A = this chain, B = another copy of it.
Amino acid sequence: MRLRRERVVDVAIALLDADGLDALTMRKLAARLGVQPGALYWHFAGKQALLDAMADRFLEDFTADWPAGSWDEQFAAASWRLRQVLLSHRDGARVMAGTYVAEPNTVLLGNRAIEILQAAGLPPDRAGWAAFAAFHFVLGHTIEEQAQLELAGRGAWEPKLTVDGIENKLAATAFTADPAERFGYGLQLFLDGIRQQLAR
């Protein structure tokens, strides 16, 4: 069968969803594929290359059905959707954060984001920087959101609201509120900032 490379990514993602990123090893993956560990290195240069392929798979068909509307509606919808895609795979955000933007679907998404912002009126380079900043926010937020999910799922979960006798305000606001509400607020902050830039 000539569909090996794709199947490796399929099973790797299944393993990720089941056991998490820390438990995703080349050896376990090989075992599940009924193959020797070394065989994987014919298909992928190394573990990171496999992770890159997995992250890119997350974004499959992402740009295919793109949201309609004004530039800020499109940008907001895409951001919400990216968060959703990352949340739909265990440790999804952490996987994506470790990759470099060089795989096809990732490039397509980045280009699309830049085009939206350019069409809105931002200069090309600023559009790129803004897209990057937004990407960092979504990743950072979702990594932390999933980290909380892991901790909650693994039992022991006390937010540590005071440390060394001083109040942990960041923890208090972050762990109490609804993650989606927090995400929406950060996104709004970002969009307001771009609008302000456009007004200049």
Contacts and interface: CB of A to CB of B under 8 A. Distances in A.
A168 interface: yes
A153 B136 CA distance: 23
A97 B141 CA distance: 11
Q: At the interface, is chain A mostly helix, strand, loop or mixed?
A: helix
Interface string A88-118: 0000000001001111100110110110000
B192 A128 contact: no
A51 interface: no
Given A102-B160, A193-B193, A197-B192, A186 B129 contact: yes
A100 B171 CA distance: 10
Contacts of A135: 140
Contacts of A101: 168, 170-171
